[in-house]
Chains A and B, each alone.
Chain A
């Protein structure tokens, strides 16, 4: 067995507490993932990554650092990976998805802060996540209020660069985001010591576009009935994409998509044809947050689409790579990223349009709109989401949850009743 303790010690991690976290993973992963029937063979790569989640990729990142390359920890899909990749850096997504980290986070922010923020702070300050420890720089963004304040707290302990996100989507906001991307590029150049060129950025745009295209193929396969892959497995693939090497990520997603396309041709699915098709929208689901997907898929439903940042927003829309100057390229990046319809924007009609479009494209029977507790912005959008779906005749269940286990039974009851109701339609 590769013993990662020396590496974790070197990173300054709290080994004793970290061992407790490692304790929980095998059973949770077994119950959630290995209990599934007829999984695609190409999920083996993702099982492998999870099995060595705190060892394999962090070890690669450390090797990169030995070559003088830098690791950027990010918390939002608005931060353009292309800039970092162009300067030979690596991006690792840092949003915390485990209840394990929440108590440590509550030492730094009020308990009525969303669990994603608390878990992220807990992972940093508790020194129990190698991805936080290995990051040379955190990159935050001015999205929701909780995150803005959390970055001040993180920034007091590790260098944290903040990108100032527009709050609206007017012409001038796209220009503003372009300027923010240009300023970020300067910071990345300073940090990595690599000068950004048009050629470097064009290559990086190609790399990330290829990754998006590969993930899109996996999602496209989910439009079939019977669906060839579970929602849980797709979610895992997406979650891992946030910290894996982007070239390998595309390669693995393409392999998985090949298999899924073959399954569709052969009429092979993971649930019987006609299983109620559920789309989930709302707050993102950072690894290892698998709770809602697992509950849906063990209650008679199949999750066929996630309209969220750990879902469609991560891969939809390619960056136009025809620019011949850095200015052109920054603008192309801004245009693509500004197409993401996060609830932090006002007004935000694009999110509703996306939800309706996805519900139709993936032929869903019902939508679950779920936000993490204390996430005000997504919670407030719920009535307008429900109304838009009702206007289209698509049933919607609104839920709120966190990372703890104790509401699972109640969620099972509500999700079970919802799926049963869909069957009566």
Chain B
């Protein structure tokens, strides 16, 4: 997401459209510059719909990155 405000606008837009999304730290593969960044975690099936919502809401995105099955609650890697 371009700015922290953008993430909120898009999150609220998704919520209003009944699409589930969660604000999350930007995955490192998407953020080579490690900026402690915010991103929106969405289901890939909603990708196009969300991008057009973002467009309509004037939200600038830095891109959409597919992260395959990266969540594992039993990995036990803490920070």
Q: Which residues of A contact B (CB under 8 A)?
A: 1-5, 18-19, 21-32, 34-35, 39, 41, 44, 47-48, 50-56, 98-100, 288-291, 294-295, 298, 403, 405, 408-409, 412
Residues on B with C-beta less than 8 A from A98 are 79
Q: CB < 8 Å: which of B1, B26, B73 contacts A26? A: B26
Please determine whether A23 and B28 come into contact, CB atoms closer than 8 angstroms: yes
Please determine whether B78 and A2 come into contact, CB atoms closer than 8 angstroms: no
Please determine whether A1 and B35 come into contact, CB atoms closer than 8 angstroms: yes
Please determine whether B78 and A1 come into contact, CB atoms closer than 8 angstroms: no
Given contacts A34-B41, A55-B36, A290-B78, contact A1 B26 (CB under 8 A): yes
- Sample of 24 A–B contacts (CB below 8 Å): A1-B1, A1-B2, A1-B37, A3-B33, A21-B79, A24-B79, A25-B79, A29-B25, A30-B24, A30-B27, A30-B71, A31-B72, A31-B77, A35-B71, A35-B73, A44-B22, A51-B25, A52-B4, A52-B38, A55-B37, A98-B79, A294-B78, A405-B78, A409-B76
Does B7 touch A at the CB level, under 8 Å? yes
- Chain B interface residue count: which class? 35 or more
Give CA–CA (A32, B31) in the complex, Å. 20
Residues on A with C-beta less than 8 A from B33 are 1, 3, 5
Pick from B3, B25, B73, B79 the residue with the most CB of A within 10 Å.
B79
Q: CB < 8 Å: which of B4, B31, B41, B79 contacts A48? A: B4
SS of B interface (majority): loop
Does B15 touch A at the CB level, under 8 Å? yes
Please determine whether B36 and A47 come into contact, CB atoms closer than 8 angstroms: no
Residues on A with C-beta less than 8 A from B38 are 48, 51-52
Q: Within B11-61, which residues are at the interface with A (CB < 8 Å)?
A: 11, 15, 22-28, 31, 33-39, 41
Residues on A with C-beta less than 8 A from B31 are 1
B72 to A: closest C-beta gap in Å: 6
- Whose C-beta in chain B lies nearest to the C-beta of A18? B34
Other 18 A-B pairs with CB < 8 A, given A55-B35, A405-B77: A1-B33, A1-B37, A2-B37, A4-B35, A19-B34, A22-B34, A22-B36, A26-B26, A27-B75, A35-B71, A48-B4, A48-B23, A51-B23, A51-B24, A51-B39, A52-B4, A99-B78, A294-B73
B19 to A: closest C-beta gap in Å: 13
- Whose C-beta in chain A lies nearest to the C-beta of B67? A30
Please determine whether A298 and B25 come into contact, CB atoms closer than 8 angstroms: no
- Whose C-beta in chain A lies nearest to the C-beta of B8? A48
Please determine whether B70 and A27 come into contact, CB atoms closer than 8 angstroms: yes
Please determine whether B76 and A408 come into contact, CB atoms closer than 8 angstroms: yes
7 nearest CB pairs, A to B: A408-B76, A24-B79, A35-B73, A51-B38, A28-B79, A19-B34, A26-B25
